[in-house]
Amino acid sequence: MPITSLPALALAQKLHAGELKITEVLDAYYAAMDALDGQFNCYVLRTCEHAYARAALIQPRLDAGEIRSPLAGVPVAVKDLICTEGIETTCASNMLRGFKPPYSATAAERLWAADMILLGKTNMDEFAMGSTTETSAFGATKNPRNPAHVPGGSSGGSAAALAAALAPVALGSDTGGSIRQPASYCGVTGLKPTYGAVSRYGLIAYASSLDQIGPMGRNAADCAALFEILKGADPRDSTCVAHPNTPATPVGQLRVGLPAEYFGEGLHPAVAAAVLAAKDALVAQGATVVELHLPMAEYAIPTYYVVACAEACSNLSRYDGIKYGHSAAQAESLRDTYILSRSEGFGMEVKRRIMLGNFVLSSGYFDAYYKKALQAKSLIQRDFRCAFEGCDVILGPVAPTTAPRLGESLSDPLKMYLSDIYTVMVNLAGLPALALPCGADSAGLPVGLQLIGRPFEEATLFAAAAALENLN
């Protein structure tokens, strides 16, 4: 089997047994990028020099039997909004072209402490605002399953790199589905962890109450291994807490919740059929099905976009052309600097969300929109608390359709926003959710299912996913 076809844990075993050297692995991946990434545009930056320097440090430890983690020596792709010290981090935006952070994100530091190696920074929707990876200042990423289609977003570069065998594992971030939806569209696996399970220190913020860094891989075991490295309290992030490591509920004892609202109008029949077949597979292994309701589901999209855009306009106010980032060359006054720098630096989708955020926070509209959205968010959280009184996991689709064609969603922002209908509730409630492939439509495009769990019960999601994978 080619090196680039090996799942991450299998690759690690060969590295730890001395059957492969890290430089051989890096050579194979960079050769694959040379051959394929011009077609898919998964990476915005290859960190070759950094990777080979790290390999020279780590290889002697592996040779001596000093194995710092189950993924020691394994390369990883990192979404381009996770700060890496001295390595350009742009959020796929002209606003941050050339920006080299003076520090690394906690998530990145934990990768280095586990002796993992950075392959490169992956493409994304600008400032994580989008569902297709078409809003990137570096050009659109294409879906390796069918290059005429989008890979999803905003972590589309990470998902596409996995699908194209251009990375064994990757980091993404998820604010309203940005790990799970591209994982679904590209036929890979991705976890949106419980809010607070993984540090956000060094994650360039979109919406701080919703953002989470999470692992992406070719299977559930690789994701679980990467999550073990990432999770845990961080004194630099007051929202991050120690993970309680709740044991997994065995599949034979699993109560699977099926929300009626996730299987109604708008769901493509091929997606529904694939997800329900996965439900039947769990039942065949002893799980029971519980039908339930999430009454606030119909309000999820407006609630999410009001909250997310309000936080985004606040977070992005720091990009003023003064401290760092793009500064307009033609500015003749301080006012010009602000206006021109932001006009030139931000793309259209980012501008749209900044304007929406400023509107819902403005005098006269704050109570009508933002305050009501916070109240709806609380009711969404209540819906899930009630649902989990009768079930252990909730099963549903990730997206209402398979991957749309390039250009379709970008020309219709409302359509793009509605593609997040099944994912945004999870972020509003702060819950963990795992996306994994469960079949394909008639055109061969992957279908993804979503398993939603109680807070900090990621282990149960991984166990259920492994049970489904074992049937394939």
Strands ordered across the beta sheet of 433-440 = 43-46, 117-122, 75-79, 169-174, 212-217, 189-192, 433-440, 446-453, 393-397, 255-259, 288-292
For residue 412, which of 402, 424, 404, 422 has the smallest C-alpha distance? 404
Per annotation, catalytic residue among 178, 184, 341, 419: 178
Phi-psi region of 213 (alpha: psi -120 to 50; beta: other; left: phi over 0): beta
Residue pair 316/393 in contact (Cβ under 8 Å)? The answer is no
pLDDT of 127 over the 80 cut: yes
- What's the pTM value of the predicted model, to 2 decimals? 0.97
What integer pLDDT is reported at residue 414 of this predicted model? 65
What integer pLDDT is reported at residue 232 of this predicted model? 98
Give the mean model confidence (pLDDT) for residues 388-412: 93
Residue pointed to by tokens 């049937």: 471
Residue 154 falls in the annotated catalytic set: yes
What integer pLDDT is reported at residue 285 of this predicted model? 96
Percent of the chain whose predicted confidence (pLDDT) is above 90? 94
Residue pair 404/416 in contact (Cβ under 8 Å)? The answer is no
Cis peptide leading into residue 363 (ω within 30°): no
351 alpha carbon, distance to own chain's centre: 22
Confidence of residue 1 (pLDDT cuts 50, 70, 90): confident
Residue pair 427/210 in contact (Cβ under 8 Å)? The answer is yes
Q: Which tens digit of pLDDT belongs to each residue from 26-73? A: 999 999 999 999 999 999 999 999 999 999 999 999 999 999 999 999
Q: For residue 400, how many other CB atoms are within 10 A of its CB?
A: 18
The token duo for 244 is: 């309680």
Q: Which tens digit of pLDDT belongs to each residue from 405-461? A: 999 877 677 667 778 999 999 999 999 999 999 999 999 999 999 999 999 999 999
From the number of C-beta atoms within 10 Å of its C-beta (0-12, 13-18, 19+), residue 320 rates as middle
What integer pLDDT is reported at residue 419 of this predicted model? 81
Give the mean model confidence (pLDDT) for residues 342-353: 96
Per annotation, catalytic residue among 79, 142, 192, 279: 79
Domain chopping of the chain, boundaries: 3-230
Residue pointed to by tokens 């956000």: 200
Average pLDDT of the chain?
Answer: 96
Give the mean model confidence (pLDDT) for residues 152-161: 98
- For every residue of the chain, which 3-state class applies, written as one string? CCHHHCCHHHHHHHHHCCCCCHHHHHHHHHHHHHHHHHHHCCEEEECHHHHHHHHHHHHHHHHCCCCCCCCCCCEEEEECCECECCECCCCCCHHHCCCCCCCCCHHHHHHHHCCCEEEEEECCCHHHCCCCCCCCCCCCCCCCCCCCECCCCCCHHHHHHHHCCCCCEEEEEECCCCCHHHHHHHCCEEEECCCCCECCCCECCCCCCCCEEEEEECCHHHHHHHHHHHECCCCCCCCCCCCCCCCCCCHHHCEEEEEHHHHCCCCCHHHHHHHHHHHHHHHHCCCEEEEECCHHHHHHHHHHHHHHHHHHHHHHHHCCCCCCCCCCCCCCCHHHHHHHHHHHHCCHHHHHHHHHHHHHHCCCCHHHHHHHHHHHHHHHHHHHHHHCCCCCEEEEECCCCCCCECCCCCCCHHHHHHCCCCCHHHHHHCCCEEEEEEEECCCCCEEEEEEEECCCCHHHHHHHHHHHHCCC
pLDDT of 327 over the 80 cut: yes
The CATH number of 3-230 is 3.90.1300.10
Q: Which amino acid is at 291?
A: E
What integer pLDDT is reported at residue 409 of this predicted model? 79
What integer pLDDT is reported at residue 212 of this predicted model? 98
What integer pLDDT is reported at residue 471 of this predicted model? 72
For residue 410, which of 81, 129, 155 has the smallest C-alpha distance? 129
Per annotation, catalytic residue among 104, 154, 199, 409: 154
Q: Which amino acid is at 152?
A: G
pLDDT of 101 over the 70 cut: yes
Give the mean model confidence (pLDDT) for residues 308-327: 95
- 446-453 and 393-397 strand pairing: antiparallel
Residue 158 falls in the annotated catalytic set: no
Backbone φ and ψ for 136, nearest 5 degrees, come out as -65, 140
What integer pLDDT is reported at residue 230 of this predicted model? 98
Confidence of residue 472 (pLDDT cuts 50, 70, 90): low
Q: For residue 59, how many other CB atoms are within 10 A of its CB?
A: 16
Residue 178 falls in the annotated catalytic set: yes
Give the mean model confidence (pLDDT) for residues 251-258: 97
Cα angle vertex 178, ends 124, 26, to 5°? 55
Q: Which tens digit of pLDDT belongs to each residue from 175-198? A: 999 999 999 999 999 999 999 999
Give the mean model confidence (pLDDT) for residues 111-131: 98
